[in-house]
Structures are given as structure tokens and as C-alpha cells.
Amino acid sequence: MNRHANRPPHEIRPVTLERGIAPHAQGSVLISFGNTKVICAATIEESVPRWMKEQNKTGGWITAEYSMLPYSTLTRKQRDSSRGRVDGRGTEIQRLIGRSLRAVVDLEKLGQRTLWVDCDVLQADGGTRTAAITGASVAVELAGQWLVQQGKIKELPLKNRVAAVSVGIVNDNVLVDLDYIEDSNASVDMNVVMTDKLEFVELQGSGEENVFNSAQLEQMIAAAKGGITRLLDIQRAALA
């Protein structure tokens, strides 16, 4: 099957990572997955959340925030601040980003500080959460390098890198890195988050008014592994 963008089924979209997009953050990137563009910025705060102090938790913490800018979609999206709350989808995505990053960061080595990771979608064309995770991993590593350079910690507080990609079934074909048109036509939709050791951090998959079998699940996971392997190469190149 050739996709509408003449992309082979198991090929991700063109991905770019531009570093230093937010000069006041300790680490930042603009990541593009095709027409999906997300700014990921990591900022360090020299304190930990109150609940950690109350529970005598050692080490640091990572909190992620995710938002889609009003002009990121075809029709203007209302700001969360205008509604007075983050929508359910945004809350779910920022929790996913936070979990993905905490899985690969050594919070003890981070020390008694909080790493805030802000992911702001400039343009949405499917896969915003997977782009955010992949970009945030690079932003966090840059912030870790900054901490080492400043002499605040002795070594990089990272156990692994993390990357994520979407995969799905469209017209009975397994496709990786779905854009908006493909995502809206998918009978099965899945997001896969993995470390640079190709170990799973999280799988989010569901049938869209449909079901899928174990053979299709294996095909989707294999396709996702291939896509994530490519993303890890792009991360490495950006950090070289």
C-alpha cells in the first residue's frame, strides 16, 4: 500500500530536531514529525513538590505540561486558561509524557530539584503526543548536560533515552507514524513508547469501533520498533 503522501507503510515522516529554540530554558528543541511541530522545553526549579517533602522522598521530580496552541489546528482551539481547566485529553497526554520521562531519568542523581517539561504544539497533524515524548527526551538530556556544566551535579542523570511513535491499522494495512488523515481513518490506533534499549515504557492501543488479533498486535509492535529505532538515530544525531 502506498499512502497518500507516497510513504511506505513502515516509514516514519521526515523528522527534524532544532535545538535551543527557547533560550531561557535549560534545554529545548523544536521537533517536527512531518507537519506536526512541537516545542519541548525543560526548565529546572531548585525545589521539589510539597508532597515529596511531606513524604520524606529523596531525589528530584519531573512534571510535564502539554498544550495545543490555539492556531495549531484547522479551526482555532480555545486556550485552557479561557476554559479554566485543562481538557481531559491534555491531562492524559501530559501524564503520559511525565511517566515516559521518569522511566528513563535517575531522580536520585537529579537531586532535590524539579524538572519542568513544557510541550507546546505549534501545528497538529497527528502524533502530537509521540512527537512531544521524543522531543522532550532530547530537551531533558540538554537540561541534564547544563546541570553538569554548571557543577550542580556530577554526572548526567539519565538511565536511557526514550522515544515514541504511533502505529495503526488503516484499510487492513499496518502503518507507522500516522498523520491526521490516517489517524482519523484508522480501525486500530496505538501509541508505543520505548527506551533506547527497545524496552517498553508504555503501550496505548484500542480498536476504533473494531477489534484486532494477536498477529496484528505483533505486526504493529514490530512496525513501531522499526520507527522508534529510526527516531533514536535522529535523537543521537541531534545530541552529537
| 15-239 fold | Ribosomal Protein S5; domain 2 (3.30.230)
> Does the pTM of the predicted model rise above 0.85?
yes
What does the mean pLDDT of the chain come to? 93
Q: Which pLDDT belongs to residue 97?
A: 97
Q: What is the pLDDT of residue 204?
A: 93
Nearest CA-CA partner of 95 in 128, 62, 58, 51: 62
Least confident of 4-8, 63-67, 119-123: 4-8
Query: What pLDDT is stored for residue 2 in this prediction?
Result: 65
What would the grid cell of residue 177 be?
507514524
What mean pLDDT do residues 111-120 have?
Answer: 96
H helices within the chain, ranges in order? 50-54, 80-83, 88-102, 107-110, 128-149, 180-184, 214-239
The letter for the amino acid at 221 is I
Q: What is the pLDDT of residues 117-175, one digit of tens each?
A: 999 999 999 999 999 999 999 999 999 999 999 999 999 999 999 999 999 999 999 99
Instruction: Assign 81 a pLDDT band (cuts: 50, 70, 90).
Output: low
Dist CA 89 CA 68 (whole Å): 11
Instruction: Count CA within 13 A, CB hemisphere, residue 36.
Output: 26
Q: How far apart are CA 68 and CA 150, in angstroms?
A: 32
Q: Are strands 114-123 and 61-68 parallel, antiparallel or unpaired?
A: parallel
26-34 average pLDDT score: 97
> What is the rounded (10 degree) CA torsion for 76, 41, 97, 186?
40
Q: Which of 22-31, 74-83, 198-207 has the lowest mean pLDDT?
A: 74-83
How many other β-carbons are positioned within 10 Å of the β-carbon of residue 77?
16
529545548: which residue's cell? 28
Query: Distance between CA atoms of 228 and 73, rounded to whole angstroms?
Result: 26
- State what percent of residues in the chain have pLDDT above 90: 82
CA-CA distance, 42 to 39, in Å (whole number)? 10
* Domains in the chain: boundaries: 15-239
CA distance 173 to 72: 28
Residue 231 predicted with pLDDT over 80 = yes
Residue 5 has pLDDT above 90, yes or no: no
What's the confidence (pLDDT) of residue 1?
60
**pLDDT reading at 96 higher than 80:** yes
Instruction: State percent of the chain over pLDDT 70.
Output: 97
pLDDT > 80? residue 212:
yes
Angle of CA points 17, 229, 73, to nearest 5°: 45
